[in-house]
Amino acid sequence: MKRDDIIEYSLDSHHNEEQGVSIRKKIYKVTIILTLITLVEVLLGAFIKQGTTVWPFVKWFFIVLTIVKAAYIVLVFMHLGDEKKWLKYIILIPYFIFALYLIFILLYEGNSIAQIWSKMLVYLKK
């Protein structure tokens, strides 16, 4: 008895084996690139401790890697990489500017709060 609830998707594909090989290569490439970026982030976070002299550079490197990873995910998984160059720029540049704005606000407000806390600690110690 043949089951009608199982759909064999490979029989319904509209590409040949050569195209399937290139699609699988692209999937492996994306997986390896994202894994390597994540591995670099994890290793840096594990081996470089906060408070060292290189920690501010590591934080900026985290921010840059996160933006690169997000842009790559958008290009690949949202198929923006297949579009024309001007369309990529129209979509990615505003998000990049917005991310930089959010980073600026976080750093500025973080410094402001740190200054307020340091003044309060001096006041409380008196």
pLDDT at 113: 85
Whole-model pTM: value is 0.64
- How far apart CA 20 and CA 26 sit, in angstroms, is 10
- How far apart CA 52 and CA 58 sit, in angstroms, is 10
pLDDT at 78: 83
- If asked whether residues 30 and 68 sit together in one domain, one would say yes
pLDDT at 63: 85
At 59-85, the pLDDT tens digits run 889 888 988 898 888 888 888 888 888
Number of domains in the chain: 2
At 1-39, the pLDDT tens digits run 566 666 665 566 666 778 878 888 988 999 999 999 999
- If asked whether residues 52 and 65 sit together in one domain, one would say yes
- If asked whether residues 74 and 88 sit together in one domain, one would say no
**Average pLDDT of span 85-105:** 88
pLDDT at 70: 86
Cα–chain center distance at 70: 3
- If asked whether residues 51 and 20 sit together in one domain, one would say yes
pLDDT at 6: 61
80 contacts 91 by C-beta, under 8 angstroms: yes
- If asked whether residues 66 and 121 sit together in one domain, one would say no
- If asked whether residues 34 and 73 sit together in one domain, one would say yes
Of 34 and 50, which is predicted with more confidence?
Answer: 34
